[in-house]
Amino acid sequence: MINIIKVNSEQQFNETGAGIIASLLQSNPRAILGLATGGTPVGVYQKLVELYREGVVSFKQASSYNLDEYVGLPENHPESYRRFMNEKLFNHIDIPIENTHVPSGNSEKAAEEYTRLLEKAGQIDLQLLGVGHNGHIGFNEPSENLHGPTHIVELDELTRQANARYFPSIEEVPTHAVTMGIGTILQAKQILLMAKGADKAEIVAKALKGPITTQCPASLLQTHANVVVVLDQAAGGLL
């Protein structure tokens, strides 16, 4: 079932996302969180840091598994997703750093190890997702076949262009990434999909109301029992 929440401001967007994650941690301090990078969750993470500082939420017993990572960037590269997570969230809250996991894009073997790690961890309690303009979730790009477990993918040109804003030039955007597969994403107990901005309106409508197809990986969320979607007015404009 998909429950859509439309909000009226950036502040409400961030508060709503952070509020859902904070309530989960309040009722289950040992929650396993699936986390995302990109522009969408930055303000949500800022709000979570605030809630932590105010004593509203603690991550001491929580653990986290990120969706994806570029292939070929060292962990300390300014654009690596490990670095993003440390800088935007982990360094500012009380989560033990050893409880945080970001897949390594170094090899197929590392991808397989991440799958085993996820299996051992058990079910993710809440998976946070953004959505790409082409309907990707994680880096599961539109394709005839989608993969269940963590695997290495070639990034779509559209994805590389969208992410070029963080790199000095498009040539420096990696061509490949490692990503949790659709199977693992759909196994999460709850999914929190967030999108903002008019540029996401079309894909959000397609994903939530269009046909369920591997050509729009986010449309597979329609098959999940517990999805909450948080949209600003612009991203929800075509619903």
List active site positions: 68, 134, 136, 141
Q: Which of 47, 82, 136, 224 binds ligand F6R (CB under 6 A)?
A: 136
Min dist. Cβ of residue 211 to ligand F6R (A): 20
Write the CA distances from 227 to 136, 185, 190, integer angstroms. Answer: 16, 11, 6
217 touching ligand F6R, by CB under 6 A:
no
Instruction: Name the token pair of 44.
Output: 């949500």
Q: Which of 33, 67, 73, 118 binds ligand F6R (CB under 6 A)?
A: 67
> Toward ligand F6R, which CB reaches closer, 131 or 208?
131
What phi, psi does 176 have (nearest 5°)? -130, 160
- Give the residue nearest to ligand F6R (CB): 130
Nearest to 108 by CA among 156, 153, 46, 67: 153
> Toward ligand F6R, which CB reaches closer, 32 or 36?
36
Cα separation, 184 vs 180, in Å, equals 6
What phi, psi does 49 have (nearest 5°)? -60, -45
Cα separation, 79 vs 177, in Å, equals 13
> Toward ligand F6R, which CB reaches closer, 52 or 160?
160
Min dist. Cβ of residue 209 to ligand F6R (A): 19
Cα separation, 163 vs 157, in Å, equals 10
> Toward ligand F6R, which CB reaches closer, 26 or 198?
198
Q: Which residues bind ligand F6R (CB under 6 A)?
A: 36-40, 67-68, 130-132, 136-139
